[in-house]
Amino acid sequence: MATTTSELITKARAARVAARGLQTVSPERKNAALEAIALALESDQAAVIEANALDLAEGVAAGMNESLLDRLMLDAERLSGMAADVRKVAALPDPIGETFDARTLPNGLRVERRRVPLGVIGAIYESRPNVTVDIAVVCFKSGNAVVLRGGKEAVHSNGALAALVRGALASVGEDPETVQQIVDTDRSVVEEMIKGDDYFDLIIPRGGAALVHYVAKEATVPAITGGIGVVHAFVDATANVENAADIVFNSKVQRPSVCNALDTLLVHSSVAPALLTAVATKLGAAGVELRCDQRALALMGPVDSDLVKPAQPEDFGQEFLALVLSVRVVDSVDEALAHIEEHGSGHTETVLTGDDAVANRFLNEVDAAVVMVNSSTRFNDGAELGLGAEVAISTNKLHARGPMGLRELTSYKWIVRGDGQVRG
């Protein structure tokens, strides 16, 4: 425990010092640093891919499932995509120093609010090494230092990426101490972080339900504890069947191992015969296992019986993170809304409809961080929604909700200018 505490405290203290210096870094210097990181992701891929291969080999040896291996894997295409996302962040306005709500009070005091960084962010995450870069970049641009603690399954990849980021910062004269990585993957580090009130201003866990629930229960540092995605699509009676089938397919198959992938399909009974036949054919060809209620089973066309199974009660309300989809037939919008209310996690929900009244009901009544009409759930993503990248997708209702980008990692302070006023 002493070794773990020493590493964490040493690096958290270094991050705190670096965070103070980062407050004076201009937007131009920040963007130059982000460009250096993007270039490194494009030109120094060999070392990262080699490190990732070690993680993948260890994952296979440990029996890691295909979904988790996909989350873990890095290749040239994914690294280039990460570089593109870094440049998107660089292209965004710098939120630090932005003033808003400026006004002059009757007594002559001039007041405004000014956007400021949170300070030091502690990030605890699993499986996906791209998070190392996403969080480091968004934190740096928003003026925050970060202490990264990835999972043991990606220890080599995370180390290579953190070294790349720190090296790129140093290459343009910026302080690499703004990005810290905890090497020790023992669980005690997580406990130390979430109770490190003297060192951290915010904790962000990104991982499975067990991690998120643990942080929510045990943290004394403020924490963003949402992010578990039990995602629904409701196909209304007025939906275009062909378009709906394409959206369902994309939501489930495009990348099934992530939190915004579709978990449950709700289909209005009047369109279910046509929709379920089309969906079963498309999803079956992609190897998706369908866990269907009795009404959906009866409507399925000729499909691979090994991929179509009766749903169990626990198949509704579950985040699968794999090529598995639960299916239920409903008779009304009310029934669909009630199902989502009972089984949703407040992450992402979409309705596929041709009726504006149904769309508006869904938008108004569904309680989720992101609610969509006629679009794939895969668009609940910081880069896709114009944030460049994200540090997490929050299902919290306080401070931040949905994808957390630059502004979501800031607070504000009141600025008051006077001319000698005193309070009577």
The span from the CA of 292 to the CA of 343, in Å, is: 16
**Choice between 306 and 35, residue whose per-residue pLDDT is larger:** 35
The span from the CA of 163 to the CA of 384, in Å, is: 27
- Residue range of the domain that includes 367: 232-374
Q: Is residue 312 one of the residues assigned to a domain?
A: yes
Reference 396, options 224, 259, 230; nearest CA is: 224
CATH label of the domain that carries residue 366: 3.40.309.10
**Choice between 6 and 196, residue whose per-residue pLDDT is larger:** 196
Say whether both 196 and 260 belong to one domain.
Answer: no
Q: Please provide the DSSP assignment of 43-68 as one string.
A: H-HHHHHHHHHHHHHHHHHTT--HHH
In this predicted model, what pLDDT tens digit does every residue of 1-27 receive, in sequence order?
344 457 999 999 999 999 999 999 999
Give the single-character DSSP code of 385: T
CATH label of the domain that carries residue 28: 3.40.605.10
Residue 5: is it exposed, middle or buried by C-beta count within 10 angstroms (0-12/13-18/19+)?
middle
What's this model's pTM, rounded to 2 decimal places? 0.86
- Indicate the angle between helix axes 45-61 and 76-91, nearest 10 degrees: 120
Q: Is residue 398 one of the residues assigned to a domain?
A: no
Is the pLDDT confidence value at 255 over 60?
yes
Say whether both 306 and 364 belong to one domain.
Answer: yes
Say whether both 57 and 175 belong to one domain.
Answer: yes
3-state secondary structure of 260: coil
Say whether both 82 and 48 belong to one domain.
Answer: yes
Q: In what order do the strands lie in the sheet with 99-104?
A: 99-104, 110-117, 410-417
Q: What is the mean pLDDT of the chain?
A: 93
C-alpha to C-alpha distances, 99 to 22, 115, 152, 242, nearest whole angstrom? 19, 6, 42, 47
The span from the CA of 219 to the CA of 199, in Å, is: 13
Binned at pLDDT 50, 70 and 90, residue 303 comes out as low
Buried b / exposed e over 366-392, threshold 16 CB at 10 Å, is bebbbbbebebbbbbbbbeeebbbbbb
Binned at pLDDT 50, 70 and 90, residue 302 comes out as low
In this predicted model, what pLDDT tens digit does every residue of 217-246 receive, in sequence order?
999 999 987 768 899 999 999 999 999 999
At 126 the pLDDT is 84
At 3 the pLDDT is 44
Q: Is residue 268 one of the residues assigned to a domain?
A: yes
Say whether both 27 and 140 belong to one domain.
Answer: yes
The span from the CA of 237 to the CA of 333, in Å, is: 9
The span from the CA of 184 to the CA of 99, in Å, is: 40
In this predicted model, what pLDDT tens digit does every residue of 312-331 receive, in sequence order?
999 999 999 899 999 999 99
* For residues 143-150, average pLDDT: 97
Say whether both 8 and 137 belong to one domain.
Answer: yes
The span from the CA of 211 to the CA of 229, in Å, is: 14
In this predicted model, what pLDDT tens digit does every residue of 398-414 receive, in sequence order?
888 999 999 999 999 99
Is the pLDDT confidence value at 158 over 90?
yes
Say whether both 96 and 182 belong to one domain.
Answer: yes
* For residues 282-288, average pLDDT: 93
Domain count, the chain: 2
* For residues 165-185, average pLDDT: 96
Percent of the residues in the chain that have a pLDDT greater than 70, as a whole number: 98
